[in-house]
Structure 1
Amino acid sequence: MLHLSPPWFSLDLGQDMPVLSWAPHNGGLTRARRILWREVRNADLTETLDVTDWLRRELGAINASDAVCFLTSRKLSAAITREHTEGGVTAKAVVTAGLSNAERIGTRLPQTWKDWGTINIALTLSAPLTPPARIEALSLVAEARTTAVIDTGVTLPTGTATGTGTDCIAVAAPEGEIAYAGKHTDAGHAIGRAVYDATLTAVQDWLRDSARW
């Protein structure tokens, strides 16, 4: 279930489950009931601010310290959700996207300002996964995101953009015995379709809203 209450956006997983991410709050492998987005502006995050501590205190103020949480400068109302079911396995992707911080993998543009434009992706999967399959699922989310960004054709001085410098992914799925989540599996196909469709739409929406490109 999704709930928008700016500056917060919440995805309720329905129950505590393993969540694998590199989110700025509760990253790594943890158990959580919710994945949150906190909307920010560049002016909110000064050079001297301890962002990790600030976000921890913000979450504490709304009794959400146990949640996994992203940061985004994209307006939360622009979040895109796509769902795909394959062979009885359902993947749901929720994406916010902004490319003001865009980069091409293996290159780096000079950064003259602090910008929190980013792509944040939360994926929920109905399939019960082993730990290795969970890692494989996260890798497919990253691949689908990158493919979608490339297909939008955003061009930088360093080449075609493949993402941003601060992209973040979280994958939530029950614990279980499904050992593989690659492209040849129902889980992998569902992941790829849901994430690609959501990311492509979210980036295209941002491009329409932005005068940068």
Structure 2
Amino acid sequence: MIAPRLEHPWLGLDLGQQLRMISWAPHRGGFVRARHILWREVRNADLTEDFDVLAWLAQDCKARGMADAVAMLTSRKIATFCQAERRVGSVCAQAVATVGLSNAERAGDNRGFGAGARSTYGTINIAVILDQPLDDIGLIEAQSIASAARTAAVLDSGAITPDGPATGTGTDCIVVAAPEGDMPFCGLHTPQGKAIAAAVYAAVREGADQWIAETGGKPYDLG
């Protein structure tokens, strides 16, 4: 298992080699090749409405010598990260997650934009590393599997929104990394899909249960 490195306010993964990744991360999102995945902890006070957070994060990564890393932002305490590794046959997947549910949302809720706005924000940020080579189509499907496993874990945690059981938060981010190859399949019935789903579910469920136990299921002051 790849050991996360915690150096507050950073959490990092060194994958040992460049892998192909897919994400909607605020720094180097999309399809990229990278060796490092980062989490950057922030506070509410850091993210004012007129603040260019994308430019700031890019500069912060560059100053750290990590301009080529894929980087996510989280208001969750990064020291609370959870990790899980699951093997299915010869395939192995590892997931590392920071899980905050202060701004939990339910997909398909009936509230308009801005309704039920929170004074504090939490998020779910997940990195998944698969040892099975995939092509870009396979990575897209792997991303869908990781997202579904996130949702299952949050549902099973019992987190609630005004519209019912939560399915995630308003600011989740998932990075999936794998060696580059020609495998286009990563469905739930495949070993790679099963390994990803099991690892993500375990890491997110542990983190959600931890957050609920810590906060009583209520938003807390993030400063």
Per the normalisation by structure 1, the TM-score is 0.96
What corresponds to 1:31 in structure 2? 33
Structure 1 consecutive aligned stretches of length 4 or more whose deviation exceeds 4 Å? none
What amino acid is the match of 1:207?
I
Cα distance in 1 between the residues matched to 2:73 and 2:119: 14
SS at match of 2:198: helix
Q: Deviations over 1:158-201 (max 9, x none)?
A: 11110000000000000112221111111011011111011100
What corresponds to 1:207 in structure 2? 212
What corresponds to 1:84 in structure 2? 86
Cα distance in 2 between the residues matched to 1:114 and 1:131: 38
Cα distance in 1 between the residues matched to 2:116 and 2:96: 28
1:103 aligned residue (102, 105, 117) = 105
CA apart distance, 1:125:
0.1
SS at match of 1:188: helix
When the two chains are superposed, the root-mean-square deviation of aligned CA atoms in Å is: 1.3
Alignment CA distance shift 1:112-1:143 (3 Å): closer
What corresponds to 2:178 in structure 1? 173
In the comparison of the two structures, how many residue pairs are matched? 213
Q: Is the 8 A contact 2:104 2:160 kept in 1?
A: no
Question: What is the identity percentage for the equivalent residue pairs of Structure 1 and Structure 2?
Answer: 51
1:156 aligned residue (139, 152, 161) = 161
What corresponds to 2:221 in structure 1? none
- Mark the runs of 5 or more structure 1 residues left unpaired by the alignment: none
Q: Is the 8 A contact 2:10 2:40 kept in 1?
A: yes
CA apart distance, 1:212:
4.2
What amino acid is the match of 2:84?
R
Per the normalisation by structure 2, the TM-score is 0.92
Q: Deviations over 1:67-119 (max 9, x none)?
A: 00010011111000100011100000000000001100022462545644100
Alignment of 1:1-150 (within 5 A): 1-107=3-109, 108=111, 110-113=115-118, 115-150=120-155
Cα distance in 1 between the residues matched to 2:49 and 2:121: 13
- Mark the runs of 5 or more structure 2 residues left unpaired by the alignment: 219-223
CA apart distance, 1:44:
1.1
Cα distance in 2 between the residues matched to 1:58 and 1:211: 33
